[in-house]
Structure 1
Amino acid sequence: MSELFYNAVPNATRVAPPLPTPRRYPEQKPRRVYLFGTCVVDLFYPEAGMDAIHLIEREGIEVDYPQGQSCCGQPAYTSGYTDQAREVARSQLALFAEDYPVVVPSGSCAGMLREHYEDLFKDEPETLKKVHALAERTFELTEFLLFVCKVQFKDSGAPVKVALHTSCSARREMNTHLHGRELLAQLSNVERIDHSHESECCGFGGTFSVRMPDISGAMVADKTRSLIETGAHQVLSADCGCLMNINGSLEKQKQALRGQHLASFLWERTGGEQ
C-alpha cells in the first residue's frame, strides 16, 4: 500500500510486501546477451540504450538487440487489459528465444518480465515454461553490471555531486535499488547526496499519471523539491519513465537541475572506450 493510503487511514495495518527471492548469479560472464531496450528508452532516451550496450560490450560481451521488440505490456497489464497485455508479452517472448541473458535498463520493465508474465500466462502450461526460463535469465542493467560482469569502474571525470532516484519498481520487484549506489561508490570523484524522498514514488507510474494527474503532480512536486534541496549538480536514475516525469517537472519549474540515465552517466564518467 502507498503512504497516501496509510496517511488517509491512520489505523490501517501495515503489511510488508514479500522480498524478492535472492538470486544466484552466473560464475562467469556470458558470451552474448539480449538487450530489452524498453519503449521509453527507444522513443525518448535512445542514448541510454546505446550507452547500456557500450557498457556491456566493453566487458567483452556481444549484445543482440532484436529489432521487433516493443513494449513489455506493463501499461495494458496494470490498466486491467489482460488480453491485450498477454498478446504484447507473447510477441516479446518469441524474440528472446535463445538461452541468453536478457538485460533491461529499467527496473519496472525488468520486473514485468520477471514477476508478472507468470500471471499473464498462468493458464498456458507450455508458455509458462518459457516464462519461467525468461524470468531466470532477466537482469536489470545495474544488477547485471555489478553481479554478473563484476565491473570495477575507474572515474575519469571532474568532481560532481549527484542525487539518486531509485524507482519503486526497482525496489519492490527487483530488489535492485542498492545496486546503483554500489556502482556510484566506485567513482572516486562522485559524491552521492542522500535525500529525504529517495524511496518514494516520483508519481509517474505509467498510466497512473494520466488517470490521477493531481495526485501524480503532488508526488513529483515532493520528489523534485527534495532533489533540489540537496544542492546536487545532477539527478541520476536507472528508470527512464521516472526520469521523463522528474525532468518534465523540473523543466516546468524552470529549474536548471536535470536527470540522466545511470547508464549514460557511468559511460561518460569511465571514459567511454577503455
Structure 2
Amino acid sequence: MTVGLFIPCYIDQFYPNAAIATLNLLKKLGVDVVYPTKQTCCGQPMANSGFEHLTQGCNNLFIENFAEFDYIVSPSGSCVLHLKDHLNAKSSDNEAQAKSIRKKIYELTEFLTDVLKVDKLTASFPHKVGMHQSCHGQRGLMLAQMTELVAPAYSKPMHLLNMVQGLEIITLNRPDECCGFGGTFCVAEEAVSAKMGKDRVADHVHNGAEYITAADMSCLMHMEGILRRQKSNVKVIHIAEILNAQEF
C-alpha cells in the first residue's frame, strides 16, 4: 500500500518531532509513505469558528494532494475527524474523490490497529505515562470506549502502549475527561478552558505521571502550556514518539 502522510499545520510548525516519529514508525512497519509537500491546513479552525463556507480552498487543495493514495494517515484525531465529516468538493466532478478520501483517511493509532493490525512493537519507553483520551478521537473516531457507557471497555491507543517495553501506564481518576482545549474554544472561553486544563493536568500529576501522551497534539499543547506555567517537571509527548522510541 501507499500512504499519504497528512501533517496538520500546528504539528508542522510547533511539534515536528511528532511528525517525524509518525513517518519513521510507519516506515519501520513496512509502509510506503509519501509526504505531499504542497499540503496546508485542513480548514478545521475556520469551520469550528462557524466559517465553514471559507474552507473550500483548503478542501480543494487537500483533494488535489491526497486523492490518489490507498490510505491517508495523520497524527491528529481532530483534523482527521474534521475531514471525515466535512471534506467536500467545489465541483461535482471531484465529489467522488472527496467521498473516497473521507473513507480512507485514518488517525495514526486507528490505522495501526484497524488496517495494519499491529500486534508487536520494538519500542521501549521506561517511564510512567498518563494517557489522555482526546474528545475528538474518543467520541468522534471511537478510538476508545466512553466510561459513562455500560459497554465493554477498549482503547486503541492503550492497546498499542501496552506493547511498549518498560512503559507503566498510570491509572487516572477520570480517564476520559476533556482537557478544555477544544480548538477555538480555548480562545472564546479562555477562563473555562484554562480551568478544565488545570483539572486534567492535576489528575495526571496526582497519580504520578512523568509524561502525558495522547493521539492529539493539540490537547497536549494546551496541557503543556499549563504545565510550564506551573513549573512542573511533567512533560507531554505524542503517542507516535513513544511507539517509535528506543529508550533502554
TM-score (normalised: structure 2): 0.90
Residue 124 of structure 1, CA deviation: 5.5
Superposition pairs of residues 72-221 of structure 1, within 5 angstroms? 72-118=42-88, 125-154=92-121, 157=124, 159-177=126-144, 178-221=155-198
Residue 154 of structure 1, CA deviation: 4.2
Where does residue 22 of structure 1 map in the other structure?
Answer: none
**What is the aligned counterpart of 2:38 among 50, 68, 91?**
68
Gaps of 5+ in 2: 145-154
Cα distance in 1 for partners of 2:166, 2:22 equals: 21
Where does residue 237 of structure 1 map in the other structure?
Answer: 214
Cα distance in 2 for partners of 1:230, 1:131 equals: 44
Q: Which has the larger radius of gyration?
A: 1
Residue 189 of structure 1, CA deviation: 1.9
Render the CA deviation track for 1:49-100: whole Å, top value 9, x for unaligned. 1110111111222111111111110110011112211221221111112142
Render the CA deviation track for 1:110-152: whole Å, top value 9, x for unaligned. 101111225xx5x864443222100111111011112222223
Cα distance in 1 for partners of 2:160, 2:232 equals: 27
Amino acid corresponding to residue 139 of structure 1 in structure 2: Y
Cα distance in 2 for partners of 1:247, 1:158 equals: 20
Partner SS for 2:213: strand
Cα distance in 2 for partners of 1:88, 1:117 equals: 9
Cα distance in 2 for partners of 1:226, 1:52 equals: 27
Asked if the contact 2:67–2:100 (Cα under 8 Å) also holds between the matched residues in 1, the reply is no
Asked if the contact 1:41–1:49 (Cα under 8 Å) also holds between the matched residues in 2, the reply is yes
Aligned pair count reads 238
Identity %: 34
